[in-house]
Amino acid sequence: MKKLLFVIFLLTLVSTNQLLAQNNSMDNKIKEIIKQLTLKEKLDMCHAQSKFSSKGVARLGIPEIWMSDGPHGVRAEIAWDSWQHAGWTNDSCTAFPALTCLAATFNPKLSYKYGKAIGEEARYRKKDILLGPGVNIYRTPLNGRNFEYMGEDPYLASKMVVPYIHGVQENGVAACVKHYVLNNQEHWRDHINVELSDRALYEIYLPAFKAAVQEGKVWSIMGAYNQVRGQYCCHNELLVNKILKGDWGFDGVLVTDWGATHDTKEAALFGLDIEMGTGTDGLTSSLKNAYDNYFMANPLLKMIQSGEIDESVVDEKVERILRLMFRTNMNSSRPNGIMNSQEHFDVAREIAQEGIVLLKNEANFFPIDPEKVQTIAIIGENATKMMTVGGGSSELKTIHEISPLEGIHKRFKNANILHAMGYASGPSVYGRVIDSKLNADSLKNEALEIASKADIVLFVGGLNKNHHQDCEGDDRKHFSLPFGQDDLISRILKVNKNTAVILISGNAVEMPWVDQVKGIVQTWYLGSETGHAIADVLSGDVNPSGKLPFSFPVKLEDNAAHAFDELSYPGDGTNQEYKEDILVGYRWHDTKKIKPLYAFGFGLSYTSFQIQNVKSNKISYKKEDTIIISCEIKNTGKIKGNEVIQVYVNDVKASVLRPLKELKAFKKVKLNPKETKSITLKIPTKELAFFDDSIMDWKLESGQYKLMIGMSSQDIKKIISVKVK
């Protein structure tokens, strides 16, 4: 045994040494290259040469860097110098489910599959940086961009972002985690200055980025548009120089968001590496080459020539850029990539199936038996609306998008399916929504007519990817459903009580009809396989196991960000203060005893589960220990299913305010009918610490902690008390 351990030790040493040697030789090569570059060549590498690329150095064989959005598929090619599509015919992709859906799977293994598949597509399309994933914390249900993020909990977002990065980067494509940081609303995103406490910053908004850097080893990060504490995020001394590159040791490239650079000197000194999308339009301006006027182009050149800034500042940026290139487009052994394979569509479907959340299921309304001959009325614009287009930079040109109506038609062949739009949202053209030309009354009447004839009604509605909906560039204006849907649902209920709602959205919505409908399914935006995955769940071919990655409040004011004045949301136009502090999402609902409509971590199944024999390995822990919780989970129903066991902790007597519950571990378990599995969940004791702003470090207080084990933040089955010394 000892011998074996020694051999393992030697092997680890050899591989560590090999890695060090490789790194040393890469560092040496980088230094050699930098010596050969002119200042102009170096600066050219630090800013865009087109909408989505930056220059290489042709005379030395150093390639250009090509980037693409992200994060749900590889975006269609964009023109060299405008936002128009380039019009290629070979750039249709697999559209994967939105990141809210991925987060709702609570399944890090699926996150890896997602990353690997999208990375393969990016690689095939010759992209070096994939602009995603996004991990801005869900602070308000009005944020137009929540659908691109991973929910309201820093632990969940951290656990889900890391495997995505690994999957992407195995392809020799850099993931670019965005938007660093505090871009938690789209309204005024280009200038709003966020003020918040150090605790909120470190406990809520930074952890997923830190995990991306330290565990995900991500090769690039995108800076956010907004300001934090008076400085723009893309050149923010505290966020970039101190935290990202200093404390966390990030060795990759900080890319701006498009047009998020504002100052040459700050950009040079406070950590920006590549400037993209600055508001010059090259072709139509009278300037010869607009890209030379970027903050990090001629203006920086002049500052270096005048001695105001040292050239070594640029060398450090180029060093990072070349390191990224050795990992991507100068790595000759990276794989070739794959596009639109059946495997990719299968991954998209699997994630969609596992992310769909069943919120309500009165009298087992679902699953609907596909063999039964009956009339089903499908009402709602979202039953047929393409959701991969629109939404801003995450728009996709996909090879196919199965609509909910199509998916249901295919699976429910014996049913008589009637369909009516019911309402119309109107098209969105370049950020403006054009009123629909369709007559609202006749749409409604048509819907009521089919509803009255049907055995069951499936209302397929929610939000869409238009401006002021789930869309980049601004926030939703209302918490309620748009386009008269609430009124329509209540009218439908008058003619047919057998009605359920299929909600397609990336955000929580108000549900005034919640008590009257028989069922509610939250399906997010599911990409290419939307209709298939929805039909899989409605028919019972797949037992739903998604869990909400954010809380659904009853009304908007129940959400923490909206419980204060306008300075909290949306700000006064210049500044914004996160007044709820660390009490974001369920931390707010639980601590303030404001019951959510649907809680973080909640989601029903067609079977039932029981947790038993919950134990911790000890009752008292030291700082360096790991708490190990073991339990048995049993499927007590008649069909197979998955359940997510969640552990929340509470510091019973703390010297500062601490949330009543904080997620610290979870595990998804697959179980056959009547099967029982034993599982363990681990929490390093140090993760019970809070961020102490008086010492600007994490502090673990001794005393009693409660470990709450359950199936959602509101469904705690067992509480264990432990001590920390």
Contact residues toward ligand BGC (CB under 6 A) are 69-70, 131, 178, 257-258, 393
HSE, CB side, 13 Å, CA atoms: give it for residue 608. Answer: 5
Q: How far is the CB of 394 from ligand BGC (least distance, A)?
A: 7
Q: How far is the CB of 184 from ligand BGC (least distance, A)?
A: 13
Which of these is catalytic: 257, 273, 292, 536? 257
Cβ nearer to ligand BGC, comparing 51 with 349:
51
| Enclosing H/E stretch for 582 | none
Sign of CA dihedral 315, 206, 155, 681: positive
E strands present in 555-693: 575-577, 609-616, 620-621, 626-635, 641-651, 662-671, 676-684, 690-692
Annotated active-site residue 257? The verdict is: yes
Of 517, 118, 99, 548, the C-alpha closest to 339 is 118
CA–CA separation, 395 and 390 (whole Å): 5
Cβ nearer to ligand BGC, comparing 258 with 600:
258
Q: How far is the CB of 493 from ligand BGC (least distance, A)?
A: 40
Cβ nearer to ligand BGC, comparing 131 with 339:
131
Q: How far is the CB of 258 from ligand BGC (least distance, A)?
A: 4
Q: How far is the CB of 69 from ligand BGC (least distance, A)?
A: 5
Cβ nearer to ligand BGC, comparing 152 with 257:
257
Distances (CA, A) of 460 to 227, 502, 505, 531, 542: 38, 5, 11, 11, 19
| Enclosing H/E stretch for 54 | strand 53-54
Amino acid letter at 413? K
Cβ nearer to ligand BGC, comparing 131 with 688:
131
| Enclosing H/E stretch for 537 | helix 530-539
User: Which token pair is 193?
Assistant: 């200055």
Q: How far is the CB of 287 from ligand BGC (least distance, A)?
A: 22
User: Which token pair is 382?
Assistant: 């979202």
CA–CA–CA angle 56, 58, 60 (5° rounding): 100
Please tell me whether residue 697 adopts helix, strand or coil conformation.
Answer: strand
Cβ nearer to ligand BGC, comparing 253 with 560:
253
Cβ nearer to ligand BGC, comparing 212 with 517:
212
**Omega within 30 of 0 (cis) for the link into 179:** yes
**Are the CB atoms for 122 and 52 separated by under 8 Å?**
no
Cα 4 to chain centroid, rounded: 43
Within 328-423, where are the H helices? 342-355, 404-411
Cβ nearer to ligand BGC, comparing 211 with 222:
222
**Omega within 30 of 0 (cis) for the link into 7:** no
Q: Which residue is nearest to ligand BGC (CB)?
A: 393
Q: How many residues does the chain have?
A: 725
> How do beta strands 428-429 and 519-522 pair?
unpaired
Please tell me whether residue 217 adopts helix, strand or coil conformation.
Answer: coil
Cβ nearer to ligand BGC, comparing 431 with 573:
431
Cβ nearer to ligand BGC, comparing 176 with 415:
176
Q: What is the DSSP string of 463-513?
A: --SSTTSS-TTS--S-SS-STTHHHHHHHHHHH-S-EEEEEE-SS----TT
Cβ nearer to ligand BGC, comparing 69 with 350:
69
Q: What is the DSSP string of 144-200?
A: TTGGGS--S-HHHHHHHHHHHHHHHHTTT-EEEEEEETT---STTTTTPEEE--HHH
| Enclosing H/E stretch for 560 | none
Please tell me whether residue 554 adopts helix, strand or coil conformation.
Answer: coil
As beta bridge partners, residue 85 has 78
Q: How far is the CB of 468 from ligand BGC (least distance, A)?
A: 16
Buried b / exposed e over 72-93, threshold 16 CB at 10 Å, is bbbbbbbeebeeeeeeeeebbb
**Are the CB atoms for 444 and 491 separated by under 8 Å?**
yes
Q: How far is the CB of 131 from ligand BGC (least distance, A)?
A: 4
Question: What is the distance between the terminal CA atoms of the chain, rounded to a whole angstrom?
Answer: 35
Amino acid letter at 478? H
Cβ nearer to ligand BGC, comparing 393 with 539:
393
Cβ nearer to ligand BGC, comparing 69 with 354:
69
Q: Which residue reads 């084990």 in tokens?
A: 709
**Are the CB atoms for 189 and 225 separated by under 8 Å?**
yes
CB atoms within 10 A of CB 639: 13
Q: How far is the CB of 182 from ligand BGC (least distance, A)?
A: 14
Q: What is the DSSP string of 317-343?
A: HHHHHHHHHHHTTT-TTS-----S-HH
Catalytic residues, by residue number, are: 257
